[in-house]
Structure formats: C-alpha cells, structure tokens
Homo-oligomer: A and B are copies of this chain.
Amino acid sequence: MAGEDTTVRRRGRRPGGQDTRTALIEAARAVFGESGFDGATVRVIATRAGVDAAMVNHWFGSKEGLFAQAVLKLPFDPHELLAELKDGPDDEFGRRIVRTFLTRWDGAGGEVFQALVRSVAGHEQAALVLRSFFQSFFTKVIAGLGSDRVELRTSLCASQLVGMGLVRYVAKFEPMASSDIEPLVTAIAPTVQRYLTGDID
C-alpha cells in the first residue's frame, strides 16, 4: 500500500519526480468511494496520498475541484464501453451489460462508481453526471436495438443497475454483497434484457 513512510517529512520541495497530483487523484477516488463527498475529508485524502492537505488546494483549487477531476470526469466513457459490448447476440445484450457493470464495479475504477452513488444524495453534480452517463450509454444501446420509449427504458435499466450497486456495495445485503459475479448475472440479466427490448406496458 502507499503512504507507509515512517520518515518524518521535511519541509519544501521533495526530491525525485513523485507525482503528487496523481497520488491525490488516486487517494481521492478511494476515499470518496468509501465515504462519499460529504463524508470524505481533505485531510484523510491527503494523508492517504502521503502528502499535506494544502496540496489539494494547490493542485485542484478546492475539495470540489479534486472531486471534479477524480470522480466527475469519469475515467472511461460510454462510447468505449459500448464498443466492448456490441459483439454478440442481441438477446444476450442484457447479460453482457450486467456482467460488465459488475466486473468494472468490482475491479479497478469501481471506486469511481461507488463515489458517484455514495455522493448522489448530497452532491447535485454527482447526480447530474450519473444521469448523463446512463443516458448517453443506454440511449445508444436501446436505439441500436430498435426499441421505442428510449428514455423510459433508460430509467428502468438505471434503476436496476444502480440498485444492484447500492445493495451490493453500499448497503451490503447478503448474499448479494459477497456473491460471485456469475450467479448475479444470471439472476438480473433477464430484467435488463426486458427493459431493453421487451414488453414494458
């Protein structure tokens, strides 16, 4: 893990090209993911990055600025995500989507999703980014599949996927919190598939 320095930090510029800006962004993703925007403190983030809290203001202007760079400016875009999923039969699109979301959420970069969901209550812009992401992604998917009522279907897909994330990673319902990915894919995929192309009225 990072930040295990027992040496007393000296004042002034540090030797070596240690990229504290990047270290701060990574620490911020982790801490915002664990505590949300309101719960996270600048001091905790800086400590985890092995750096003084004033660095946040120096590099990002404010806590808000750091949140904007680390979380709101997503480290992946709907376009690229969609490209990964296009290949395969249409009637398994829901399956691929659920698997991809769970895999990303579990792995590297998942802290950003957690930070978004955990901050959506108190941070208006987090809600905005979450909406934009799902709209951008599912609008393309649903239109590509030739379904009607694109916006409603998008909301429905978002409700199931965001709910899945909240229950698994935040509220930690068992057995969903500790389950392997594949059983969840099998259970949830039909829901998403119906929201994408099936009967919704």
A136-175 residues at the B interface, CB under 8 angstroms: 151-152, 154-156, 158-164, 166-168, 170-175
Q: How far is the CA of A36 from the CA of B126 in the complex (A)?
A: 15
Interface of A is mostly: helix
A200 in contact with B186 (CB, 8 Å): yes
Say if the beta carbon of A194 comes within 8 Å of chain B: yes
Contact flag A162-B152 (CB < 8 Å), given A39-B122, A187-B201: no
Chain B's nearest CB lies how many Å from the CB of A160? 6
Say if the beta carbon of A197 comes within 8 Å of chain B: no
Q: How far is the CA of A121 from the CA of B116 in the complex (A)?
A: 11
Which residues of chain B are near A188, meaning CB under 8 Å?
Answer: 156, 159
22 CB-based A-B contacts, threshold 8 Å: A38-B38, A38-B122, A118-B122, A119-B121, A131-B171, A131-B172, A151-B174, A152-B183, A152-B187, A155-B175, A156-B188, A159-B164, A159-B166, A159-B176, A159-B188, A161-B163, A162-B166, A183-B201, A187-B195, A187-B200, A187-B201, A190-B194
